[in-house]
Amino acid sequence: MTTIAKPTVRPANPNFSSGPCAKRPGWSLDALADAPLGRSHRAKIGKNKLKEAIDLTREVLQVPADYRIGIVPASDTGAVEMALWSMLGARGVDMVAWESFGSGWITDVTKQLKLDDVRTFVAPYGEIVDFAQVDFDRDVVFTWNGTTSGVRVPNGDFIPADRKGLTFCDATSAAFAQRLDFAKLDVVTFSWQKVLGGEGAHGMLILSPRAVERLESYKPSWPLPKIFRLTSGGKLIEGIFVGETINTPSMLCVEDYIDALKWAKSIGGLEGLVGRADRNFAVLDAYVQKTPWISNLAKVPETRSNTSVCLTISDPELAALPAEKQAAFAKAIVSRLDKEGVAYDIGSYRDAPAGLRIWTGATVETSDLEALTHWLDWAFATEKAALAA
């Protein structure tokens, strides 16, 4: 196979990780100068910063006024598990998954909580569950955007407005890049380190009035650790949703999240963020459509993520190789681009099919993705020539 020349234009920012994701354009440590370091998060200055983060979240994400927003520990995982352990068990639950994290929530509910009335609906990587099978008079747990599969729900139309159960939505790779239909969602979770490029360890928990009603009317039969407790004396702990966090947050990370939210406002809020992610995805999608050696893992165009784009190597010669050799080839491309300093952390998730996973969220510049496509071709050609040698 003929080799191709190394591209001359490099991505200005080679960070294409799917979490923690690239910082916003123009970010520097100076953005954190106003962080109240060395101060208590329970002091007035700390509470004000936490409340500002919550208020800006509501504004940018367009969360309804009667929904509660809280900052909770342990990233998106902590937020999801807090909700599952606090609210499930009041009625039957349908668990829906088409990627690794959704499958993890199934394990939580069936193996850890050990609920009796659980139905599971699982689709393979690249596909999505048929929601016509799901009963929304039961509680339903699902991911809006599968970070490890690149498959998302196109909208919330599949959720009935008159549902009797609660919907639990892990939206960590969707929030701020996709339009969440809050009228159809009762529990929404995400983390700072995804679309806005914030720092890790902090999660967000958004509750509808129906979710609050469940919390105040239902008490699980199992004990809840302090870090999961959202009620006291049968009433919602309102302080959590105005900045009185359950445990100590990093005020440095809070300042960074506030900075990202202000940047989001400066580019047009939610519409600006979604637009940037859509344009970024369009660059990669156009590249994939004209490139014979690579394909989208997500089979149906309407379900393809505009943030965590998962790709498989579809070159016929390579597809004929054993699975372990295909995986080794994909890893070799990832390693070569990493060593060149043009793309970091773009390997597929460890449980996903072998290939690439490239983040196209709002903090990524379109020009960097355009430059990356030429390097992808170069790395593929170089590795295939090496394989043939």
Residues 118 and 80 in one domain: yes
pLDDT for 67 equals 99
Averaged pLDDT, 29-56: 98
Averaged pLDDT, 29-41: 98
Residue 1 has pLDDT above 80, yes or no: no
- Judge whether 361 lies within some domain: yes
Which residue type sits at 263? W
Residue 214 has pLDDT above 90, yes or no: yes
- Judge whether 88 lies within some domain: yes
pLDDT for 2 equals 60
Which residue type sits at 388? A
Q: Which of 231, 265, 299 is the last residue of a domain?
A: 265
Averaged pLDDT, 153-166: 98
Q: How confident is the model at residue 389 (pLDDT cuts 50, 70, 90)?
A: confident
Specify whether the CB–CB gap between 182 and 163 falls below 8 A: no
Residues 109 and 253 in one domain: yes
Specify whether the CB–CB gap between 362 and 276 falls below 8 A: yes
180, 216, 172: which is closest to 196 by C-alpha? 172
Q: How confident is the model at residue 77 (pLDDT cuts 50, 70, 90)?
A: very high
C-alpha triplet 255, 342, 195: angle, nearest 5°: 35
Q: Is the pTM of this model over 0.85?
A: yes
Residues 281 and 251 in one domain: no
Residues 135 and 234 in one domain: yes
Q: How confident is the model at residue 210 (pLDDT cuts 50, 70, 90)?
A: very high
Q: What are phi and psi of 172, to 5 degrees?
A: -65, -30
Residue 96 has pLDDT above 90, yes or no: yes
306, 328, 365: which is closest to 22 by C-alpha? 365
Q: How far is 264 from 31, CA to CA, in rounded Å?
A: 14
Residues 75 and 135 in one domain: yes
Percent of the chain with pLDDT strictly greater than 90: 98
Q: How confident is the model at residue 4 (pLDDT cuts 50, 70, 90)?
A: confident
Of residues 4 and 172, more confidently modeled: 172
- Judge whether 38 lies within some domain: yes
Mean pLDDT, rounded, of the chain: 97
Residues 197 and 321 in one domain: no
Q: pLDDT tens for residues 221-273?
A: 999 999 999 999 999 999 999 999 999 999 999 999 999 999 999 999 999 99
- Judge whether 18 lies within some domain: no
243, 234, 237, 168: which is closest to 206 by C-alpha? 168
Percent of the chain with pLDDT strictly greater than 70: 99
Give the CA dihedral 284, 288, 294, 298, nearest 10 degrees. 80
- Match 């008490």 to its residue by tokens: 219
Q: Which of 230, 265, 300 is the last residue of a domain?
A: 265
Q: Which contiguous run of DSSP H or E holds residue 213?
A: helix 209-217
- Match 């009603």 to its residue by tokens: 213
For 2-6, 14-18, 191-195, 267-271, which range has the lowest pLDDT when averaged over its residues? 2-6
pLDDT for 335 equals 98
How many CA atoms, within 13 angstroms, populate the side-chain half-sphere of residue 288? 24
Residue 30 CB partners (closer than 8 Å, separation 6+): none
Domain that holds residue 103: 29-265
Residues 334 and 216 in one domain: no
Q: Which of 216, 238, 265 is the last residue of a domain?
A: 265
Q: pLDDT tens for residues 123-132?
A: 999 999 999 9
Q: How confident is the model at residue 140 (pLDDT cuts 50, 70, 90)?
A: very high
